[in-house]
Amino acid sequence: MMRGILGESASRHDFDLLDRSALASLSRIEEGIRQGRSMPWVKVNHCPGNRAVAPVDRQVRLGVFPISGNPLHWVHLLGGLIAMETFSLDKVLYVIAGSDSRKPDLAPAAARHAMAKSLLGLFRPLFEYSPIALGGSRSGEENLFRILGMNPRQPIHAFYIAGSDHYRRYRPMTENPDTIQKLEDGIAREGRGAADRGHRVSAVFLERERVVEQIPASLEVLWVRGLPVRTSSTGIRQALSDQGQRRDLYTLPFSAYMTIRGNRLYNTGSLAGVSPSAL
């Protein structure tokens, strides 16, 4: 469907690469499920106000992937699949950010959450959408520890997934803490209680650019290297508004495109008149 939307801007090679990459990861995940390394049907509580979830008699290996979803794209999806197969995760929980007054180009939270919920539902039970950040402005790291706190009886090894641009202790411009520091601070706050509950936290970074500096850290740091495609939400927004290369939109899932179109997000430029019903 996206090839039809893009017309002459589409490259069959680009879409074939997405197909091969996703299917290869799904095949390896399926093998892990058959061998009992992954159990994607396990449940954890990640919605405030929900009933407690009955624990299972094993440690849940839970990927927690906080993103703004502005919009959600195929690098987010492939990153989740590759992390799942590489580290034998039971599932990946996508935590879509709430509001952030510092980001004027951030689409309304309700639209971004609706987009993610619809798209991630196609990957159930491997992926799951979480509304925990809706209506707030907490960081992804804060929401990770909130999720662990909602599951006091369930042993969880949480794999916090982030882009390599967050592989640092402090943000260079503001000197505010970034992922490494925030995770270590959270682990320190949880203290012995987290260990007693069987909670453990590791950091997983998706390598977007080659990282030269190694940051000493007290928590386990893991890497997903060699992502098959490159894109960014910024580049997609630019392409949608005719300020970037339309070909880059091959990394925008059709479900996300339909939500963008239906909610008139991102000033979709010349694509606004392209009707999927005409394909």
pLDDT of residue 279: 46
Structural domain boundaries enclosing 173:
9-35+57-268
CA distance 128 to 60: 14
CA distance 57 to 16: 41
Q: Is the dihedral of CA 116, 121, 126, 130 positive or negative?
A: positive
- Cα distances from 226 to residues 17, 26, 82, 84, 223, in angstroms, run 13, 17, 10, 15, 10
Tokens of 59: 């440690």
Q: Within a domain: residue 42?
A: no
pLDDT score at 188: 94
Instruction: With CA atoms as reference, report the closest residue to 17 among 226, 165, 278, 240.
Output: 226
pLDDT at position 182 is 97
Amino acid at 112: R
Contact status, residue 257 vs residue 5, Cβ threshold 8 Å: yes
3-state SS of 159-218 is EEEEEHHHCCCECCCCCCECHHHHHHHHHHHHHHHHHHCCEEEEEEEECCCCCCCCCCCC
What is the mean pLDDT, run by run of 10 residues, along the chain of 279 residues? 89 94 98 97 92 92 97 97 98 94 83 95 96 93 96 96 94 91 95 86 91 88 93 93 90 94 84 58
C-alpha to C-alpha distance for 143 and 244, rounded to whole angstroms? 33
On whether residue 76 sits in a domain, the answer given is: yes
pLDDT for 272 equals 63
Q: How many domains does the chain have?
A: 1
CATH of the domain at 263: 3.40.50.620
Reading the block at residue 209, the tokens are: 């650019």
User: How many Å apart are CA 207 and CA 223, to the nearest integer?
Assistant: 7
Q: How far apart are the first and last CA of the chain?
A: 8
Report which secondary-structure segment, H or E, holds 130: strand 127-130
88 assigned to some structural domain: yes
Give domain status of residue 52, yes or no.
no
Instruction: Tell whether 149 is covered by a domain.
Output: yes
CA 42, CA 62: separation in Å to the nearest integer?
10
d(CA 57, CA 70): 37
Structural domain contains residue 275:
no
Q: How far apart are CA 132 and CA 14, in angstroms?
A: 34
Inside any domain, residue 128: yes
Residue type for position 75: V
pLDDT score at 277: 52
Residue 218 covered by a domain: yes
Two structure tokens written together for 53: 């979830």
CA distance 212 to 176: 21
